[in-house]
């Protein structure tokens, strides 16, 4: 049976560490698929103008295309070049919730994320996505520092 590991990307260069760690694990496991997921932060409860609403579908498609080309595809290519079986995905939503939900849908064995790069007041007020994920995830989470 193929073991699935999910890697959450945050769009920063530092995410390379999570990718490297996932690659190592996959090689050790052998029969392993890496799911590379990038979540576009999105809340259904934000306030929007009418024009934003009318163009929303178009913007969503654009956001997915951009994220796929700039973030997910390069990561998947890098993993494939190293001989690891990898698949990329882009989703909208709350980062922690979405990582957790997709990991359940895909039956992932583990989630690998990078240490949060957010700091200061925002982190104190809202907590980081990484901390939220660790607290709410239903599968083991590895935070790569």
91 makes contact with another protein (CB under 8 A):
yes
| Measured distance CA(95)–CA(101) in Å, rounded | 10
Q: How far is CA 78 from CA 45, 51, 63, 142, in A?
A: 36, 39, 22, 21
SS3 of residue 13 by DSSP: helix
User: Which of 2, 12, 27, 60 forms a contact with another protein (CB under 8 A)?
Assistant: 60
Cβ distance to another protein smaller for residue 34 or 39:
39
Cβ distance to another protein smaller for residue 52 or 73:
52
48 makes contact with another protein (CB under 8 A):
yes
SS3 of residue 135 by DSSP: helix
| Distance of closest approach, residue 52 Cβ to another protein, in angstroms | 8
16 makes contact with another protein (CB under 8 A):
no
Three-class DSSP labels, 35-71:
EEEEEEECCCCCCCCHHHHHHHHHHHHHHHHHHHHHH
User: Which of 16, 92, 123, 142 forms a contact with another protein (CB under 8 A)?
Assistant: 92
Q: Which residues bind another protein (CB under 8 A)?
A: 40, 42, 44-51, 53-58, 60-61, 63-64, 91-93, 97-98, 101
């Amino acid at each position: 049976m193929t073991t699935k590991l999910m890697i959450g990307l945050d769009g920063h260069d530092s995410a390379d560490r999570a990718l490297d760690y996932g690659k190592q694990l996959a090689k050790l496991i052998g029969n392993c698929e890496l799911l590379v997921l990038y979540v576009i932060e999105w809340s259904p409860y934000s306030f929007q103008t009418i024009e934003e609403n009318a163009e929303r579908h178009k913007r969503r498609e654009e956001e997915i295309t951009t994220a796929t080309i700039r973030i997910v595809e390069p990561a998947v290519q890098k993993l494939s070049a190293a001989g690891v079986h990898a698949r990329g995905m882009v989703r909208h939503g709350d980062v922690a919730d979405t990582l957790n939900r997709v990991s359940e849908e895909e039956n992932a064995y583990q989630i690998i994320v990078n240490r949060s790069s957010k700091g200061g007041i925002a982190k104190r007020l809202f907590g980081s996505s990484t901390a939220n994920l660790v607290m709410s995830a239903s599968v083991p989470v590895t935070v790569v520092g």
